[in-house]
A and B are shown apart, each in its own frame.
Chain A
Amino acid sequence: MGPRVRPRWFVPYVFLLPVGIFLALVFGYSLVAVVIQSLRVPGILGVTNWGLGNYHGIFGDPLFWRSLGDNLKLFLVIPVMTVVGLLMAVLLYERTKGWRIYRSLAFLPYILSVPVIGVVFSYILELNGVLNQVLDSLHLHFLVHDWLGNPNLALWSIAFIIAWQQTGLAIVLFLARLASVDEQLYEAAMIDRANWWKRFWHITLPQLARVIEFFVVISLINMLSWVFSYVYVMTGGGPEQKTYVTELYIYEDAFRNGLSNLASAASVVLLLVAAALLFVQAIARKGVDRIEV
């Protein structure tokens, strides 16, 4: 048997290089370009100045802070999605008859295209749309509202649609993790006469801790930077700019108002906030690891 040839240290990186180049060009170049654009302060007739003027512009804009605030309001949906997803996963885990069909139906909204969901629900939630017509026919007139045209209701209507769509992911994630939990833990608990709640609190929840943490952080990032399609299609940021999320702020400045430099500055700020969330996730993960152990 001949001597074993150790691969050189750089060989794995050579194989990663094509993908790395692709990612660097698509994401890295775009990122650098946006940062540079955010520092370009246009003067008249093509004169370009450089500095933090665009950042002053957005930080001094009440609409920018209101947009961030609307994203933060959407965070309130996350506990709802998590709890509903958890309960439904636990119920499905009981393997009642037809549970596979229920699981598929629960996950179906998640695989639908967001713009399609937005367009369909726009029609359903119009003042004279399907929902209000059904409520009217059931003599539930007090429930008839302008779901998308009322500034006090529009954002929560969108939040409901987001929750409807994203809860399916929670159910599937939690169910998958439940399937890998050691059954002996539950058997031991039942031998000790632990009731359903105690089994759920002391076994199910700790075992699901990491996947719950993953889902919560992913949802936080989604609520911050992945709700544009819902808002753009369903309300356009109105009424009265009461559904003006940060992505829409960036879009409107870039594509409608022709202020791409301001939009770039807002994009950089959004990126930094998302990065901060990821940092929080890394810290939270350490705590979760302790719980699981």
Chain B
Amino acid sequence: MSKVTSESVREDLTGLSRRGFLRLSGVAGASAAAASLLASCSSSGSSGSSGGKVNLLVWYWGEQEAPGMQNFMKKAVARYNSQQSKVTVTAVLQSSDSLYSAFATAAQAGKGPDIQYLWGGTQALGDVWLGYCAPLSDYIDASWLRENIPQAALAQTNWGGKQWGMPFYQIGTAFPYNKKMFADAKLNPDEPPVTWDDYTTALSKLKKIGVSPIGAGFKDQYLGGWLASYFGQQNFDTIEDAIAPFRGSVKYEGPKYTEWINQVQGLVKSGFFNDDVQSINLYQGQNLFTARKAAIVTSVQPQITSFYRTMGGNDTVGVMRSPAFGTGKFANSFGAPAQVLLLTKFSPHKEEAANFLKFLHTPAMMHLMYQESGAICPDNKFDTSWFDTETDKTMWHWQQTLPNFWYQYYYPLPFETNGVDPGLQQLWQPNGSVTAAVASMQGAINKWGEQTPEQLSAYKTWKPLPG
């Protein structure tokens, strides 16, 4: 006769003993852990081939900067896939914070996208120097690149005698201004200032009518790079001048490199910025323009197009370049940096990936990009009849007639985060000085060279295209 125990009674009632319950819980827990682990190991999209068909994976960004870019990519990919019998492209939009870290992880694992979007210039070359990318010029003929892509756009990711990035879209950088405020301040709304003296005179008049002449926000540490790139290149004649301090061949000192800091200090001391610039973010500063509290803001071409379309068109919104104070070739220049798409080193389908990149430069795709996002594809075949805003026509004219140079794409990013940003921020303090700002920037260059000797050696061997 079996003994009746509380354990056995419970088992009769529930069909499960305590021991059995614990055993099952352990198995369930292990299964859940294994399932979540497998789920987390899956990548966003997959590259590879199956049944003779090639699957290309593209990781891209841009919706945040040029709204509508995601729609463009969906349509572009759909059209390409419908035309191709042997290649299927999948494009996955990345978030800002994980754009670089996700690619670094994929590159170190040797598995991930075939095509990777990166911000241009040295922000792409950094990953090139780490060995994550394959040279574009090994898969696309140099003559095709020369004939189709403006040299200034190619120069930003040309290094070691090879072309690495395919310019994807450009972000012309300029200052939108409020024409009505200009008129109220007795300034000619159709002729914005071109020289520095005219600029400061205009700012003084705008201040008198009770608006912030320049709307900006520095709290999130992005404005420094904009100011450096609007004003920092004005005494340079060549790209070589721009990168010389980072080779270690010259110090970041003297009027050639630091006159612009004096000019920025002048703007600060004259009270031409909004008074809360240190406690608001970049986009909050830009929003002062749409809120009609600031006359001039920093901006990029897709955003300027958006201002134009939403604030009353040509009657309200004009666009101006950086006013000139310098004496170098780049004093009168226009910055139209290009974001790029790169072939990844670990892609097994680099030829197919290169073909897709060329497809994005066909007239139909360039037109579609402009229609969907307002962004311009840097290509000599771009048809200016597609423009539907006066600001786009104006910026295009500058790009065709002036040197195209964007300083930020030629210096290492730590120079900006550790030198330019804190150096310029202290100008807003009562005891702020240009000397301290210059010391901050040279200190950042020294630190960058010590911490990243491989990047320093990359700069030393860099032979930039003329631009």
Contact surface of A with B, Cβ cutoff 8 Å: 2, 14-15, 17-19, 21-22, 25, 42-47, 57-58, 60-61, 63, 122, 125-129, 146-151, 235-241, 252, 254-260, 262
Q: Are A61 and B451 in contact (CB under 8 A)?
A: yes
Q: Is B126 an interface residue (CB 8 A)?
A: yes
Cα A63 to Cα B440 in complex, Å, equals 12
Asked if residues B422 and A126 are in contact (CB atoms below 8 Å), the reply is no
Q: Is the CB of B221 within 8 A of A237?
A: yes
Report Cα–Cα, A45/B107, bound state, in Å.
Answer: 12
Please give me the residue from chain A that is nearest to B127 by CB atom.
A258
B221 pairs with A238, CB closer than 8 A: yes
Q: Would B219 and A260 count as touching, CB distance under 8 A?
A: no
Q: Is B101 an interface residue (CB 8 A)?
A: yes
Chain A interface: which of B246-254, B297-305, B399-407, B411-419? B411-419
Contact of A46 among B22, B132, B422, B450 (CB under 8 A): B132
Is B30 an interface position by the 8 A CB rule? yes
- B111 CB, nearest partner CB in chain A, Å: 15
* The residue from A21, A147, A258 contacting B279, defined by CB atoms under 8 A apart: A147
Residue B51 at the chain A interface, CB threshold 8 Å: no
Flag if B131 contacts A47 (CB, 8 Å): yes
Q: Which residues of chain B in 446-465 are interfacial with respect to chain A, using CB atoms and an 8 Å cutoff?
A: 447, 450-452, 454, 457-458
Q: Check A239 against B37 for contact (C-beta < 8 Å).
A: no
| Per-residue A-contact encoding for B246-276, CB less than 8 Å = 1, 0 else | 0000000000000000000000000000011
* Pick from A15, A57, A61, A149: contact of B219, CB under 8 Å: A149
Listed A/B pairs (7) with beta-carbon separation below 8 Å = A15-B25, A25-B37, A46-B130, A149-B279, A235-B219, A239-B278, A240-B425
Is B386 interfacial (CB 8 A cutoff)? Answer: no
- Are B413 and A21 within 8 A (Cβ)? no
Does B218 touch A at the CB level, under 8 Å? yes
Q: Tell me whether A256 and B413 are in contact (CB under 8 A).
A: yes
What is the bound-complex CA distance between A22 and B279, given in angstroms?
43
The reply to whether A44 and B129 form a contact with Cβ atoms under 8 Å apart is yes
Q: Which of B25, B131, B277 has the most CB of A within 10 A?
A: B131
Q: Is B33 an interface residue (CB 8 A)?
A: yes
Cα(A127)–Cα(B220), bound, Å: 15
Q: With an 8 A cutoff between CB atoms, is B97 at the interface? A: yes
Q: Which of A17, A61, A125, A240 contacts B30 (CB 8 A)?
A: A17
Q: Is residue B52 contacting chain A, with contact meaning CB distance below 8 A?
A: no
Q: Flag if B452 contacts A259 (CB, 8 Å).
A: yes
Task: Given A126-B276, A239-B278, decide whether A258 and B413 contact each other with a Cβ distance below 8 A.
Answer: yes
CB-nearest residue of chain A to B29: A18
Q: In the complex, A61 Cα to B449 Cα: how many Å?
A: 12
Name B221's closest neighbour in chain A (CB-CB).
A236
Given A17-B30, A43-B454, A44-B454, verify A257-B279 contact (CB < 8 Å): no
The reply to whether B26 and A14 contact each other, CB–CB distance below 8 Å, is yes
In the complex formed, the residue of B with least CB distance to A235 is B219
How far, in angstroms, from A60 to B221 measured CA to CA in the complex? Answer: 23
Chain B residues with Cβ under 8 A from A146's Cβ? 276, 278-279
B421 on the A face (CB < 8 A): yes
- A252–B417 contact, CB under 8 A? yes
Question: Is B426 among interface residues, defined by CB-CB distance under 8 A?
Answer: yes
- Which residues from A are CB-within-8-Å of B414? 257, 259
Chain B min CB distance to A132 (Å): 9
Q: Contact: A15 with B22, CB < 8 Å?
A: yes
Give the one of B218, B422, B450 with max A CB within 10 A. Answer: B422
B33 touches A18 (CB 8 A): yes
Q: What are the 3 tightest A-B residue pairs by CB atom distance, in nearest-first order?
A: A46-B131, A149-B278, A18-B29
- Contacting residues, chain A, for B429 (C-beta < 8 A): 151, 240
What is the CB-to-nearest-CB distance from B6 to chain A, in angstroms, rounded to a whole number?
Answer: 14
- Check if B92 is an interface residue, CB within 8 A of chain A: no
Indicate whether A239 sits within 8 Å of B218 (C-beta atoms), given known contacts A127-B279, A260-B104: yes
Interface status of B100 (Cβ within 8 A of chain A):
yes
Cα separation A85 to B411 with both chains bound (whole Å) = 50
CA gap between A148 and B279 in the complex, in Å: 6
> Is B345 in the interface zone, CB < 8 Å from A?
yes
**Shortest beta-carbon distance, A34 to chain B, in Å?**
13
Q: Which residues of B contact A61 (CB under 8 A)?
A: 447, 451
Q: Report B-chain residues with C-beta under 8 Å of the C-beta of A19.
A: 29, 33
Given contacts A18-B26, A63-B418, contact A262 B426 (CB under 8 A): no
B422's partner among A57, A122, A149, A238 (CB-CB below 8 A) is: A238
Shortest CB–CB separation between residue B143 and chain A, in angstroms?
26
Chain B positions within 8 Å of A127 at CB level: 275-276, 278-279
A residues in contact with B417, CB < 8 Å: 252, 256-257
The CA-CA distance from A218 to B417 in the complex, in Å, is 32
A41 to B254: give the CA distance in the assembly, Å: 34
A sample of 16 more A-B contacts (CB under 8 A), given A57-B451, A57-B452, A240-B429, is A18-B26, A18-B29, A21-B33, A22-B33, A43-B454, A60-B450, A63-B447, A126-B276, A146-B278, A149-B277, A236-B219, A238-B278, A239-B278, A255-B97, A259-B414, A260-B104
Mark interface residues in B273-303 (1 if CB within 8 Å of A CB, else 0): 0011111110000000000000000000000
In the complex, what residues of B have CB within 8 A of residue A239's CB? 218-219, 278, 422, 425-426, 428
Specify which chain B residues have a CB less than 8 angstroms from the CB of A126 in the assembled complex: 276, 279-280
Interface residues of B in 64-97 (CB under 8 A from A): 97
A258 touching B26 in the complex, CB below 8 Å, given contacts A46-B132, A149-B278, A239-B425: no
Contacts of B428 in A (CB 8 A): 149, 239
Closest Cβ of chain B: how far from A200's Cβ, in Å?
42
Quick one: closest B residue to A258, CB to CB?
B126
Contacts of B450 in A (CB 8 A): 57, 60
User: CA separation between A44 and B277, bound complex, in Å?
Assistant: 40
- Choose one: B30, B126, B218, B278; the contact of A18 (CB below 8 Å): B30
Whether A149 touches B276, Cβ cut-off 8 Å, given contacts A21-B33, A61-B451, A259-B451, is: yes
Contact: B279 with A125, CB < 8 Å?
yes
On chain B, the residues within 8 Å of A44 by CB distance are 129, 131, 454, 457-458
Residue from the list A122, A129, A252, A255 in contact with B100, Cβ < 8 A: A255
**Residues of chain B lying within 8 A (CB to CB) of residue A18:** 26, 29-30, 32-33
Chain B residues positioned under 8 Å from A46 (CB to CB): 130-132, 345
Which residue of chain A has its CB nearest to the CB of B131? A46
Bound CA–CA A83/B126 (angstroms) = 50
In the complex, residue of chain A having the shortest beta-carbon distance to the beta carbon of B23: A15
The smallest beta-carbon distance between A90 and chain B, in angstroms, is: 38
In the complex the two chains form, what is the Cα distance from A240 to B413 in whole Å?
16
Q: Residue among B3, B33, B37, B278 with the most chain A CB within 10 A? A: B278
A21 nearest CB neighbor, chain B only: B33
Identity of the chain B residue whose Cβ is nearest the Cβ of A263 in the assembled complex: B101
A45 near B131: Cβ-Cβ < 8 Å? yes
Residues of chain B contacted by A60 (CB below 8 angstroms): 450
| Cβ contacts under 8 Å, B220 to chain A | 236
